[in-house]
Amino acid sequence: MSDKGALVLFSGGVDSTTALALAVSEMGSGSVTALSVSYGQKHVKEIEAAKKLSRYFNVRLIQLDLSEIFKFSGCSLLGRNSGEEIPKESYAEQLKKTNGSPVSTYVPFRNGLFLSAAAAYAMSLGADEILYGAHSDDAAGNAYPDCSEAFNTAMNTAIYEGTGGAVRIRAPFVGLTKAEVVRQGVGLGVPYELTWSCYEGQDEPCRVCGTCRDRRAAFLANGLDLY
Amino acid sequence: MSDKGALVLFSGGVDSTTALALAVSEMGSGSVTALSVSYGQKHVKEIEAAKKLSRYFNVRLIQLDLSEIFKFSGCSLLGRNSGEEIPKESYAEQLKKTNGSPVSTYVPFRNGLFLSAAAAYAMSLGADEILYGAHSDDAAGNAYPDCSEAFNTAMNTAIYEGTGGAVRIRAPFVGLTKAEVVRQGVGLGVPYELTWSCYEGQDEPCRVCGTCRDRRAAFLANGLDLY
């Protein structure tokens, strides 16, 4: 737990909203800042959800646009690549096709970049902890190599050393499945109906992309009938 | 040496220009991209130098503005903090006063952020190597913790793991002093008169800030009468 203040890497999805609720429950909303990064994703609904939820939790929200950095990427998540279809399969099925390479929704080194930006903000604001909603399902296979334990460990060391010991990453859910994250969130009173996960940029969740499927399963495992 | 292409983290200063010259000598200019990041620094002359030098070496230059991320920082390098004076002392003298904490020209986790952005670009462009001009003088004391060997090692691992093994950092000067970097650069024909290092945003180098002093000493050690 942080002494000085926490910065939560916050997308408005299930995992990072649970991390935000945890930080607020530990420290009070005045010591917590949420950082929401847009990167040219199709799902700008995420950003609307981040705004609603930061108001709900009464925390300061910093918004940052890093889409410029991904302008050469062919990732299917990016709005500019509107011809690229987002896979309608579970991650396990997608990984069979990629032969262990990252899936088409991998955004190049996104988490490394977001955590580095969070470290810069945290140090400027005098916060000593970055909260990050990584959990064990994300790291399965090699779908998202920037969610792996090897990545998380090295990035944590890089941030601790590179800030002269001023900032640490804390990933409280790293040993949990998404269903277990939701179980914790239910205990913390997270309003999951306000969160947004779908990769498609429509008004309603598509219910068939990998992230819609995963989210639905985690809710059902906790007796929540939500999409 | 890279197989597929190199991205050089490029400020237009002495060290990164030497790294750019090394990459071009190894691979040819068509396989090399330079990435120049502005972060709100007073010394925008750096960016002009980066443009001139990328034309000189005939490499593609990508320019990125990350100044938004540092808007809460009190670092004396940032143009917005125009009341903050840049120290007119060597780093060793500055460190005596900070008691081992970072010096006032430390920009929070700047190198971590720049390397992460470079990893994202490298992966999008199909380059497998990030060249980075870190050398042993930068890491002295704890002036810049994001230049330390512990940071470099961890960041290298984070980038390798987080890109699924697609991108590595290479810091060819990490065991060299700045004077030894210049010696290599002289052998590579680097036009050091086009580089810019001074932290003050004036037309001419101030000749008294830490980086002006270091640069001058490295040139003199190689028989170059330049500022």
ipTM, interface predicted TM-score of the complex: 0.88
Q: Is the separation of the CB atoms in A63 and A91 below 8 Å? A: no
- Find where tokens 């590179």 sit: A162
Classify residue B161 as exposed, middle or buried by CB count within 10 Å of its CB (0-12, 13-18, 19+): buried
**B148 to each of A43, B134, B162, B218, how far by Cα in Å?**
38, 9, 21, 20
Distance, in Å, from the CA atom of B123 to the CA atom of A141, rounded to the nearest integer, reads 20
**CA distance from start to end of chain B:** 32
**Higher pLDDT, residue A9 or A79:** A9
Among B72, B124, B151, select the one facing A125 at the smallest CB separation.
B72
Residue A74, pLDDT score? 77
Local structure of A168: helix, strand or coil: strand
Residue A156 — very low, low, confident or very high, per pLDDT cuts 50/70/90?
A: very high
Residue A42, pLDDT score? 66
- CA–chain centroid gap for A122, Å, is 17
Classify residue A213 as exposed, middle or buried by CB count within 10 Å of its CB (0-12, 13-18, 19+): middle
Q: Is B148 on the interface with A (CB under 8 A)?
A: yes
The model carries a pTM of 0.90
Would you call B154 and A150 a contact, using CB atoms and an 8 Å cutoff? no
Distance, in Å, from the CA atom of B74 to the CA atom of A177, rounded to the nearest integer, reads 40
Among B69, B146, B164, select the one facing A142 at the smallest CB separation.
B164
Q: Would you write out chain B's pLDDT as a tens digit for each of its 227 residues?
A: 667 899 999 999 999 999 999 999 999 999 999 999 988 876 678 888 999 999 999 999 999 999 999 888 877 777 767 666 777 766 666 766 776 677 777 888 999 999 999 999 999 999 999 999 988 877 766 678 888 889 999 999 999 999 999 999 999 998 899 999 999 999 999 999 999 888 777 788 888 887 888 899 999 999 999 99
B31 contacts: CB under 8 Å, gap ≥ 6: B2, B4, B5, B6, B23
- Sequence length of chain A is 227
Closest Cα to residue B160, out of B123, B133, B125?
A: B123
Candidates B81, B99, B116, partner chain A, best to mutate (most A CBs within 10 A): B116
B183-219 exposure pattern, b = at least 16 Cβ within 10 A, e = fewer:
bbbeeeebebeebbbbbbbeeebbeebbbbbbbbebb
Angle at the Cα of B62 from the Cα atoms of B37 and B67, rounded to 5 degrees: 25
Residue B83, pLDDT score? 64
B12 is in an annotated binding site: yes
Residue B205, pLDDT score? 86
B95-105 exposure pattern, b = at least 16 Cβ within 10 A, e = fewer:
beeeeeebbbb
Tokens of A137: 């399902």
Dihedral class, residue B207 (left if φ above 0, else alpha if ψ from -120 to 50, else beta): left
Distance, in Å, from the CA atom of B52 to the CA atom of B61, rounded to the nearest integer, reads 10
Residue B84, pLDDT score? 67
Q: Is the separation of the CB atoms in B138 and B144 below 8 Å? A: yes
Mean pLDDT of all residues in A142-168:
91
Q: Is B64 on the interface with A (CB under 8 A)?
A: yes
Tokens of B222: 């190689």
Residue A28, pLDDT score? 96
The shortest C-alpha distance from B51 to chain A (Å) reads 19
When mean pLDDT is compared across A34-48, A66-80, A86-100, A154-168, the lowest value belongs to A86-100
Residue A208, pLDDT score? 84
Would you call B121 and A69 a contact, using CB atoms and an 8 Å cutoff? yes
- Sequence length of chain B is 227
Tokens of A31: 């010591």
Q: Is A116 on the interface with B (CB under 8 A)?
A: yes
Distance, in Å, from the CA atom of B142 to the CA atom of B116, rounded to the nearest integer, reads 22
Residue A95, pLDDT score? 65
Average pLDDT, chain A: 88
